[in-house]
Structure 1
Amino acid sequence: MQKDRGLQNCSEEWRNSVPTAMLNQMSNLGYSKQDFTLCQAVALAKKNIERIDKADKEDELYMYYKRFLPERMAEIYAECQTFINTYEHSECLNKKRVAVIGSIFNGSTQADRVSDYLDSLPNTKAVRAFDELRVIVRQGKTDWTDRAFEIFVSVIDESDVVVLIPSDKLSTISWLLGYAWSQGKPVIVFTEDDLSAPLGMITLRSIQAHLASWKELTEYDFEELPYKRFADNLKGSEVKFVENIKGEQE
């Protein structure tokens, strides 16, 4: 799981307040305390509260606690509830989470630049998709695509808005856009360097805004998310798509 730098820029004291039971659950999931975001930790605490309240035969762990360790179960409940009460309404948690997805092969360039800008805004924090994947690719691992799929889904699910930076090397752009749209996440396409990404007209209908320059990005209201159609910057993939239908190009 990639680390959410936007949250890491906030106070880290919450990490020292994570209930012991949740630390064990994080470990079982293959994550360390440092890999978890505050949003994920609060969600996990709420899940524990829900499981303890229910504690039926389908939940073997808490059924065991209920029968043999009721005092420990009560402690876990109290620890999780305290954690929720303390951090559920924290300033960091309430910032709008913006997933930033660009080409993994471009290095620390556009996606990081956009992420740094979003982190500088008072009410947004960037969720960076490629930090972990860059390390995996540099290590020469051949199974990085499986982890990429998991990270893409996780990053989009955990975010409020998705910023996609298409390029000819990000061939999954249409799938990412479609998945984000299916989850009800507004999608902003940023094409400062590349207006020739392989996007069709139907795909473009699911875009909330197309930003074609750094000036447009910095002037865009990420709070209100105004609609800005791709046709306002009609120089790229939509033209290709139309020409292909007419048979004028490949």
Structure 2
Amino acid sequence: MTPQEHAAAAADLLRAERTGQQIGLLTLRHPEISMDDAYAIQSAILAAKLEQGRRVIGWKIGLTSKAMQSALGIDIPDSGILFDDMAFDSGATVPAGRFIQPRIEAEIAFVMGGAVGGEGVTRADVMAATQYVAPAIEILDTRVERRDAASGQPRRIFDTISDNAANAGIVLGRERHPPDSDLRWVGAIVSRNGEVEETGLGAGVLNDPVESVVWLARRMAQYGQSIEPGQVILSGSFIRPVECPPGAEIHADFGPFGSVEIAFAGGARPAPR
């Protein structure tokens, strides 16, 4: 793909986010698309949002479980960018129509006290740079169709990465914990409208959520980026995504680690802004 094609794809994705009208699969439009192309489209989205006045508050890591990687035929995670307008307080209600097809995942968030970066980043580096960890919910959305209606082809990893790794929001729990606990055993019971939908343990995230942040720092180094102080890192989900239609009320119970709640208002999407 050319830089002009990267910019055009980013513009289409931003328009989809603004209007609520999904675009077709980029992998059908550009069969030659590569991982580098997908991250270049994501970078074009980043540049556009910064120009609009948005601020980067962190990063998300996705596709950290074996099940999700197998489903997409890959063997590595992906990553996306958290912007300031994506943050919701625990217990808040998402306005009607804010997202197209929202889903949520339960995750462990790392809040960084120091910078960390470079291809040689180690587990010890990540632990030293982490100020605290907290329970979190990631809100997913898709500005790209999940499946092409004509051919039946599903989204591929390149579609997802281009679409900012399907990232749309973050809900950070109020509890704060030192990073030196064994996060493999931190788990959550996730309910929608009072019924349990998913359960899982931190070990589902690359065997240890800390290793997920190590992977992110090393990947970012390949693109001249690094994790900065104050940023929030969503380390990856240890549950399958839970659909959140209008009226959904989500409660993620992390036991002694804390809890996170988010609701989705009912009603139709407002007119494009």
TM-score by length of 1: 0.26
Bigger strand share: 2
TM-score by length of 2: 0.24
Larger Rg: 1
